[in-house]
Amino acid sequence: MKKRLARLLGFLAGLAVILASTFMAAASYYWLGWPDWLRTGLALCAVPGLAALWFVPGTVRHWRRVAVIGAISLFLSAYSQKELYPQSFVPLHERIVDVKFDGDLAEIINFRDAVHQIDEPAQPRWTTRTFDLNELSGIQLIYQPFGNSAATVHVMMSFAFSNGDHLAVSFEARRTSWDTFDAVAGFFKHDQLYPVLGTERDLLWKRLARVPPNDLYFFDLEGTGEEGRAYLRHLLEFVASLHQTPQFYSTISESCFTTLLKLSPRLRETVPWYDLRRWVPGASVGLFQELGLIDSSVSEEELLERQKLRPDIRPPWEFEDANTWSSYLRSRVGRSDQAVLRLQTSAIGTSESFIGRP
């Protein structure tokens, strides 16, 4: 019995070494600031080198294993203290947004209102805008697939105000290039979490100005109330904290959907960590339906079909201002009769059960 237990523990220890060395290899490769020869060398040698030290028989294997444990511990300790490395970013991600509060007034500095010509480089525009949180009239979830799986979906929020203004919010990985992006890097403290606060004619038209354009879906969150304002304040306070102390973008814990979810205390507590839908942005619609946050009277497939933005959207520069374009955009969601009714009733909402208090 003791021998079996010893073999089991030995097997588990060996497996742990393999997994830890694999993590070390990938984390080393994505460790910005290290020389290329060191990153590449550790990526190539970590697994075979540590495995050989651990598994190859010999009279000093005990001490080799102590060395392996020490090396892994030292690396993980350094990794836990890792900080963001200075880089040059694309123009649209060049500035960091900040938020200043004066009671219920939120002043957003580096509020983005870029111009996006069709299939051409963006023309960044940065301004300062003030929103009265007491004037919040509703929230929409905006869903943007960019691939063929539930993992390749981007989720955003749009906050509507009684004067017709919209505050679009997107949490992204801060980009150094639009031409290349390594999704695996998001698992290894490589990219910076980047909040974008701006107009819809920037954040949404950016997706539509591509060739071919991205699909967009709009979902009203049910109900209105004080908790909606509390959620928005909590979100803006988080954005302000990122201006002071930047964080890593994590594919698992700090991505477009998980960040928005975690900023809602009630949602964070309602959806357990082991529910895979918590970590997959493409599952957000079905999850929100189950929680009663968006329309659950039809199936997820029917709702997606109904709430899809129709094609051939006219560009923002054909309209008087951003608010007029936002109204036009919603008139193009789903069937035209539904869109007209939506415009007439101004049916954009938020949910008491979704928001929770910070």
Per-residue model confidence (pLDDT) at position 187 = 93
Amino acid at 214: N
Instruction: Give, rounded to a whole angstrom, the gap between the first and last alpha carbons of the chain.
Output: 53
Structure confidence at residue 71 (pLDDT): 96
DSSP SS3 for 326: helix
CB under 8 Å to 69, separation ≥6 — which residues? Answer: none
Please enumerate in sequence order all residues whose Cβ is within 8 A of that of 259, keeping only pairs 6 or more positions apart, or say none: 171, 193, 238
Q: State the pLDDT at residue 59.
A: 83
Residue 152, pLDDT score: 87
Helical (H) or strand (E) element with 154: strand 153-161
Residue pair 128/219 in contact (Cβ under 8 Å)? The answer is no
**Residues 332 and 310 sit within 8 Å (Cβ to Cβ):** yes
- Cα separations (Å) of 48 from 25, 37, 53, 317? 10, 17, 9, 58
Burial (0-12, 13-18, 19+ Cβ within 10 Å), 1 = exposed
Q: Which amino acid is at 29?
A: Y
Q: What is the pLDDT of residue 275?
A: 87
Label residues 300-338 b or e (16+ Cβ within 10 Å = b): beebbeebbbeeebeebeebeebbebbebbbebbbeeee
Walk along the chain (358 residues) in steps of 10 and give the mean pLDDT of each run: 83 95 96 94 95 91 94 96 94 97 97 94 96 94 89 93 96 92 91 97 96 94 78 95 95 87 83 87 91 90 94 94 95 65 40 40
Helices (H) and strands (E) in the chain, counts: 12, 9
Angstrom distance (rounded) from CA 262 to CA 168: 18
Reported pTM: 0.87
Check residue 224 and give its pLDDT: 60
As given in the structure block, the two tokens for residue 143 are 């869903």
Q: With H, G, I as helix, E, B as strand and everything else as coil, classify residue 56.
A: coil
Q: What's the rounded Cα separation, in Å, for the pair 251 and 253?
A: 6
321 touches 221 (CB < 8 A): no
Nearest to 43 by CA among 3, 11, 75, 89: 75
Alpha helices by DSSP H, 174-318: 200-208, 226-244, 256-262, 265-270, 284-290, 300-306
- pLDDT value at residue 123: 95
| Residue with the two structure tokens 């960091």 | 96
